[in-house]
Structure 1
C-alpha cells in the first residue's frame, strides 16, 4: 500500500500543534494538514525571493527564525508532492495520510490563529505509537514543525501496522457522514460480495458488515 509507485515517494511528519492548539481532530475531520504564517499570502503564486520580505514584514523574525521558517515553507510548498505520505500523532496513535496538492485557504481570514497554508490528505489508517519501529519513532521525536523521513518509505514498515489495525476494525474517527441511500447501496454491494468466488473478498465483506452492525 505504502510504496505503490515507480517514482520516489517520501514520508514526512508534521507537528499537529499550530499556534499552540492541537489540531489533530480538525486535520482528521477536514482531511488536511497545515502550517502557520498565514500572513504571507498564497505562496504558490508568490516568487520565492519575496517570501523573506513577507515574513519580515508580517512577523519581524530574526535571522535564525527567518531561516528556519523559510526552510519549513519551502518543504511544505515545494518539496512535498502529491502522493507522498504524512504522519501526525496524538498521545496514543499515529495517523497515516496520503498527501494532496498545496492550496491556500483564506476564506475565514488570515488571523494568526487560522491555518491558510494547507495540503489535502486522504487518511489511510492509524497505528498505535508503541508499534512504530525505531526509525519512525525518531522521526516523530524531531522537534521540527515538518520533518522528512531519511530512509526509503518501505523501512518505515507502515503497511504492517495499517494491516493490523484494519483487521481489528480500527479506523480513523470520526466516520464520514453519509446519507441513508448511500449507506444502503454500499451494504447491497457488500452483501453481493458475500457470494463471491474469492474467499478473501467474502471475508472482507463479512468483516465490513459485522463492523457496521456493531452498536
Structure 2
C-alpha cells in the first residue's frame, strides 16, 4: 500500500558515470536484490552523517568549490538524508519508459567503494510499475526533465497522479520483466552499431555480462 505522504524524486541511473539501470531493476546476481545508487566513491559510509560533514568530505576528496560543490552536495545529501524509507524514485530510460521504485533505508556497500564500480551509496528498491512517460501528467514530466542526479518533486503526492496506477489493492503489480529485458538488450544491440568505439565496447560488455549471469 502506498502512503500518500511519501515524497517523490527523479533520479539518474549513472552513478560514477556508468549506466546501471539494468542492475538497478534486475539486481546483481551475487546480491539478488534491486536497488538504486549514486556515485561519489571515496567519501566513506554516510550513515547518520550531517550535510556539513558530507560537504567536508566532498571538498577533501574531490576538491569541489563554489557552485560545483553546492550542486554535488545537494545531490549526495538528498540521496542520503532527504530521501526516506518508502519514498518513490522515478528513473526514465531512452525508450521514454519510467520505472517507479519504492526505496528502503540508505546503506553503504564497501565492496563497491572504488572507481571501477562507483556505487557504494545505495538504497534497496522495489519496482512497482513501469509507465510510459507520455502517460504522466505535466508535473511529473517536468520533474523528469531535470538533469540533476536526483531532484525532489515540489508538489504533494496527490499532484503526481500516480494513485491511478498505485492503488492499495494492486501495489504488487505484475511486471513483464522478460519484455523489459528484451527491450534493454535491443537498445544494447543498436549501440553495437554506434560510430563511437567506447559505446560499442560498453554495449558488448553489457551483453556478454548478461549472457554470463543468466546461463
Structure 2 unmatched ranges of 5 or more: 28-33, 180-215
- The answer to whether residue 21 in structure 2 is matched with residue 18 in structure 1 is no
Cα distance in 2, alignment partners of residues 59 and 12 from structure 1:
25
Offset at 1:17? 2.2
Q: Which residue of 2 aligns with 1:171?
A: 175
Offset at 1:153? 1.1
Cα distance in 2, alignment partners of residues 32 and 158 from structure 1:
21
Deviations 1:92-146, CA, capped at 9 Å, x for gaps = 3101111100001012442254200111111111111111111100000011111
2:140 to 136, 151, 164: 136
2:40 to 37, 41, 50: 37
- The answer to whether residue 53 in structure 2 is matched with residue 67 in structure 1 is no
Partner of 2:85, secondary structure, is coil
Higher-Rg structure is: 1
Cα distance in 2, alignment partners of residues 24 and 173 from structure 1:
13
Aligned pairs, number: 168
Q: Residue 54 of structure 2 contacts residue 77 of structure 2 at CA under 8 Å; is this kept in 1?
A: no
Segments ≥4 residues shifted beyond 6 Å? none
Structure 1 unmatched ranges of 5 or more: 176-215
Q: Which residue of 1 aligns with 2:115?
A: 111
Cα distance in 1, alignment partners of residues 66 and 116 from structure 2:
21
Offset at 1:84? 0.9
Using structure 1 for the length normalisation, give the TM-score.
Answer: 0.70
For the aligned residue pairs, the C-alpha RMSD in angstroms reads 2.3
Closer/same/farther in 2, CA of residues 76 and 38 from structure 1, 3 Å limit = same
Using structure 2 for the length normalisation, give the TM-score.
Answer: 0.70
Cα distance in 2, alignment partners of residues 84 and 76 from structure 1:
11
